[in-house]
Amino acid sequence: MQTNIYRAKTIKEATARVKNSLGPDAMIISTKRLRGKGENDLFEISAVPGGTETYNKISNPFSEVNAQLMSIKEMMLLLNHSDSTIEKLMVNPAALTLYAKLIREGVDDHYARNILERTGALKEGSHHHADNIKKKGIKELMNVIDVTDPFEGKDNNQIIAALIGTTGVGKTTTIAKLAAQLMLKAKKKVGLISIDTYRIGAIEQLKTYANILGIPCFQAFKRKDLLFALRKMEGRDVVLIDTAGRSQYDRSRIEELKTMIAGDLAISSHLLLSVGTVQSEMLKTAISFGPLKFQTYIFTKIDEAERFGSIINQIIKLRLPISYITTGQNVPEDIERADKRNILNLLLNKN
């Protein structure tokens, strides 16, 4: 296979030459920064024409071409984020690949660069081995991700947890999944309470799950109803409370929920966020529900999302641990306790 080499004074110019010569589907197989005297550095890109046949050949581990495969479209996307960062990474293809993966997954450019800076890959004159860059990058990402299990009590005290979030984020089905898993795997006695008085059929849906599982379920319209239900649940290890979906812009409803579950009641709150939500709305939701002092994130609808960088962005912006992630509508299968390596796989390996 013939490899075409393009050189220019800037990485953007070299990328443009590749596109003009080989088209928008061209594949970049290597990048270099050629040191010159003074400001006479050149940037070199080796590329081949695009297409499925080409991709299969050069991505084959037994191919003669050993390179950090990247499309010209992806390189142009990276350049739109930060020209200067790309120029620094030209001497470190492994770091460039990691940066590309993070940006592709929707990780904020500032956070992606910060992670790379902590690996040392952006330091002038640094020449790290690919495996070393990968290991350091994974270590930095692992440091960012924090996980916890709010239902793993070390004593025999009852755990009462309310799931909060916007309409349609999956609170009721998540409660059913949690209840089933806590019963079947953790061997805990579970009870359910619904304080969703807005959505038609909400209590019926929860009672259906409760009947299948053979556990008690109460509905509470007011605080006194909630207190009554909690007294009835005194023999339960875990009580899960289903709340009505509130818009992140409806502060009065959020305050209403706070009045219902706050005070002297030992109720922990856990915020559900759909991974496919626009990043700005995800942040707005977390800020708006802040008065409820939620303790963990539960990221939902993993199966409906194309990119997962929003998880990293959210936990960096508002640092709280992740407790669970949900991956579909099946009860109780499509839920799992948050695990650092699994989240990292979502981000880097689409697995």
- Which CA distances in Å does 273 have to 152, 285, 311? 22, 8, 9
Residue 301 lies in a domain: yes
- Where is 345: in which H helix or E strand? helix 340-349
Q: Domain check: are 164 and 200 in the same one?
A: yes
Per the CB < 8 A criterion, the answer to whether 146 and 320 are in contact is yes
pLDDT below 70 — which residues of the chain? Answer: 1, 36-40, 51-69, 91, 124-131, 154, 199-200, 350-351
pLDDT attached to residue 64 = 38
CA dihedral 20, 24, 27, 31 (to 10 degrees): 50
Q: Which domain CATH number covers 12?
A: 3.30.1660
Residue 149 lies in a domain: no
Which residues sit opposite 163 in a β-bridge? 242, 270
Residue 236 lies in a domain: yes
pLDDT attached to residue 321 = 97
Q: Domain check: are 62 and 103 in the same one?
A: no
* Cα dihedral across residues 107, 111, 113, 115: positive or negative: negative
Q: Domain check: are 55 and 86 in the same one?
A: no
pLDDT attached to residue 144 = 92
Residues 201 and 281: their CA atoms lie apart, in Å, by 27
Per the CB < 8 A criterion, the answer to whether 143 and 132 are in contact is no
Encode pLDDT of 153-167 as tens digits.
767 789 999 999 998
Residue that terminates a domain, selected from 46, 70, 94: 70
* Number of Cβ within a 10 Å radius of residue 149: 13
- Which CA distances in Å does 252 have to 22, 206, 256, 261? 57, 25, 6, 15
Q: Domain check: are 139 and 175 in the same one?
A: no
* Cα dihedral across residues 48, 52, 58, 64: positive or negative: negative
- Which CA distances in Å does 44 have to 11, 16, 70, 199, 256? 8, 12, 14, 60, 61
Residue 25 lies in a domain: yes
* Cα dihedral across residues 105, 106, 111, 113: positive or negative: positive
The total number of structural domains in the chain stands at: 3
Q: Domain check: are 55 and 122 in the same one?
A: no
Per the CB < 8 A criterion, the answer to whether 31 and 44 are in contact is yes
Q: Domain check: are 193 and 326 in the same one?
A: yes
Q: Domain check: are 266 and 181 in the same one?
A: yes
Sheet arrangement for strand 296-300: 217-219, 190-194, 238-242, 159-164, 267-274, 296-300, 322-326, 335-337
Q: Domain check: are 55 and 184 in the same one?
A: no
pLDDT attached to residue 245 = 81
pLDDT attached to residue 66 = 39
Residue reference for tokens 């009590």? 153
Domain enclosing residue 34, as ranges: 1-70
Residues 161 and 171: their CA atoms lie apart, in Å, by 12
- Which CA distances in Å does 307 have to 116, 140, 247? 20, 20, 24
Strands 217-219 and 190-194: parallel
Which residues sit opposite 5 in a β-bridge? 46
Task: Record the tokens describing residue 140, joined without a space.
Answer: 């930095």
Q: Domain check: are 317 and 243 in the same one?
A: yes
Q: Domain check: are 205 and 255 in the same one?
A: yes
Residue 75 lies in a domain: no
Q: Which domain CATH number covers 178?
A: 3.40.50.300
- The Cα diameter of the chain in Å comes to 80
Residue 253 lies in a domain: yes
Encode pLDDT of 127-149 as tens digits.
556 667 778 888 999 999 999 99
Q: Domain check: are 97 and 221 in the same one?
A: no
In sequence order, what are the residues at sequence separation of 6 or more whose Cβ sits closer than 8 angstroms to the Cβ of residue 194?
202, 203, 206, 217, 218, 219, 220, 241, 242
